[in-house]
Structure 1
Amino acid sequence: MEKKDFEVIIIGGSFAGLSAAMALGRAIRNVLIIDAGKPCNRQTPHSHNFLTQDGATPAEISAIAKSQVLAYPTVQFENDIVIDVSGTNNNFIVKTVEGKVHTTRKILFSTGVKDILPEIPGFSESWGISVIHCPYCHGYEYKGQNTGILTNDVMAIDFVKLIGNWTQKLTLFTNGKAVFDRKIFDKISIPGFQIVEKEVAELIHESGYLKEIVFKDGSAQEIDALYARVPFVQHTDIPVKLGCELNEIGHIKVDEFGKTGISGIYAAGDNTSRLRSVSSAVAAGSVAGAFLNHDMISE
């Protein structure tokens, strides 16, 4: 088995991980990024709200970032999957699927989260394209169009008010009988707003772009975009096994600098925050990388 020593191993090489690696590379730290190559936004056709890269694909942004990060000679990248991390601060051991064993002083988890998508035909194929989660990421592209919100939650009214900023052609689909009091929507001042309590059978789409939402009673409704807040799990349970805590939502608990409750272990990106965007992941990674360096200087 191959064995190498690093100052920091970054597990997960998407935007947060690459950003942290750049900060560490510029601090002349010996860094290894290990990444499986399957980011959660791989279906998303365009990324927005990120200065200088608005409208580029996530893959394009990531490719540029990777080339710039790897220009720093102390940073390395491996396409692999981490299966185990053991040890303590300044003496961690990282094992991978490919049988490699690395030692490192510090660990940064930038592993993201895994969305649990409903088993509705057409949903997963459209996820990140026209079935979307964030109006700040995608709302402008669907402004004024036939838009749905798929949820059956007492907090639905807040989501309806939010999406109403981008379109007035808005329908709340509860996928079955509503569990909330419909009267809370009586004061919603969105012309034509409606609540549909029919069970959803299928989403009709072309290459991920929605055309219709079909119900189990055989009826259908035209639709261009569908917002959905789906549950998620951490991509890996290794941080929890190491003693890192999750909050009530399921994110890894970190302080403002990305520190977990376990000495020597940091986390950054979607696995720590509900702010799931390229810009927020880059910002979190940059902060975590800088403070990892501060930690090592202090020691």
Structure 2
Amino acid sequence: MTHRKIFDVLIIGGSYAGLSAAMALGRSLKNVLVIDSGKPCNATTPHSHNFLTQDGIPPKEIAAIAQGQVKKYETVRFYSGLAVSGTKTGDEFQITTQTGDTFWGKKVVFATGIKDEMLPIQGLVDCWGKSVIHCPYCHGYEYRHKKTGILANGESAFHMAKLVNNLTDELTLLTNGPSNLSSEQTEALQKYKIPIIETGVTNLEHEKGCLQQVVFKDGSSISLDAMYASLPFVQHSEIPVSLGCELTEQGYIQTDPFQKTTVPGVFACGDNASMMRSVANAVASGNIAGAMANHELTEEQF
């Protein structure tokens, strides 16, 4: 079905960043459509942290409160479905969903997040977001002074080790194969008594997602309470790139300080455009994206 009404802004993704952008636009009486597939990247995380007024609250509860507040703005509408393609014709953007519905907008905000690619390690999926975590700012305090591992290699491993070292005296680096650390980095880790295990990881033994043992290819194992994992990722949506949005070397959508992408009229916010994967950052960047989209619309009108 084609909905030829032209919205001021189409927001792709209705989690924290998308809802934050929608609120900013709704408060300026802009006609907005939020297209959301209902699959946030932190769906397995039991509690959100490091977000003032919401510390320790389940992510689903925060999202429900946010959606309820945004729905009070009469110019904001919601559509449940997955956006699969997008094109630009003149000054208008066309977004089509998996079921064939098509919508048009003057501006587009992508709040689509990223998709982590799980390593072939048994038990990793079960522990992800619970005891195998990605961010010391989001989860580190809860595992302070615990037996902790870091599943990473090279520069990302060294960066994470420096951050986590302050949270525990029992830290082990698991490179899951030959170490790519420089000699200087290796010496620094040795100085802080952080052991490096290069043997490949095959299995995570756990109890309902709570990590207990890491098992290696040679049959040895190590007891851990938590493990940080630096996983590869891809953009959750391919539409921004298909529209011409450039990515950074790390794979995030390139934006300026106002959340503008390299394509005029297209904004990006949240996890898809920043390595700071937190609810607080998603809300902040979404607020900026919404305000800047409104600013552009206002300037064009006058």
TM-score class normalised by the smaller sequence: over 0.9
Structure-to-structure mapping, 1:86-105, within 5 angstroms: 86-88=87-89, 90-105=91-106
Query: TM-score, normalised on structure 2?
Result: 0.95
Q: Which amino acid aligns with 1:49?
A: N
Query: Residue 186 of structure 1: SS of its match in structure 2?
Result: helix
* Shift, 1:184, TM fit: 3.6
Identity of aligned residues (%): 52
Note if contact 2:189-2:195 (Cα within 8 Å) is conserved in structure 1.
no
Distance 1:260 1:192 in 2: 43
Q: Corresponding residue for 2:10? A: 9
C-alpha deviations, 1:51-77, integer Å up to 9, x for none?
110000111100000000011111111
Return the alpha-carbon distance in structure 2 between the equivalents of residues 74 and 181 of structure 1.
55
Per the alignment, residue 249 of structure 1 pairs with 250
Unpaired runs of at least 5, structure 1:
none
TM superposition shift of 1:187: 4.2
Alignment of 1:209-248 (within 5 A): 209-248=210-249
The range that moved more, 11-20 or 198-207, is: 198-207
Deviation, structure 1 residue 152: 2.3
Verify the 8 A CA contact 2:201 2:215 in the aligned structure 1: yes
More helix by share: 2
What is the SS of the residue equivalent to 1:8?
strand
Deviations 1:90-113 (A, max 9, x none): 422221112212111111111011
**Is the partner of 2:23 in helix, strand or coil?**
helix
Residue 168 of structure 1 corresponds to 169
Question: 2:188 and 2:297 mapped to 1: Cα distance?
Answer: 56
- Aligned partners of 1:25, 1:129: CA distance in 2, in Å? 35
Corresponding letter in the other structure for 1:71: K
Any conservation in 2 of the 1:12–1:111 contact (CA below 8 Å)? yes
**Unaligned segments of structure 2, at least 5 residues:** none
Task: Give aligned pairs, total.
Answer: 299
| Alignment correspondent of 2:83 | 82
Partner Cα separation in structure 2 for residue 19 and residue 257 of structure 1 = 14
Matches of 2:183 and 2:96 in 1, distance apart? 53
Give the distance between the partners of 2:122 and 2:82, measured in 1 at CA. 30
Note if 1:147 corresponds to 2:148. yes
Residue identity in the other structure for 2:106: R
Within 2, Cα distance between the matches of 1:117 and 1:204? 16
> How far 1:89 sits from its partner (Å)?
5.8
Query: CA offset at residue 263 of structure 1?
Result: 1.5
Aligned amino acid, residue 241 of structure 2: V
Distance in 1, Cα, partners of 2:180 & 2:299: 53
Q: Which amino acid aligns with 2:83?
A: V
Give, in angstroms, the shift of residue 228 of structure 1.
1.1
CA-CA distance at 1:196 after TM superposition: 1.5
Q: Distance in 2 between matches of 1:65 and 1:154?
A: 37
Q: Secondary structure at the match of 1:271?
A: helix
1:65 aligns with 2:66: yes
Q: Whole-Å Cα distance in 2 between the matches of residues 261 and 243 of structure 1?
A: 8
Superposed displacement of residue 154, structure 1: 4.4
Partner of residue 121, structure 1: 122
User: Partners in 2 of 1:179 and 1:251 — Cα distance?
Assistant: 23
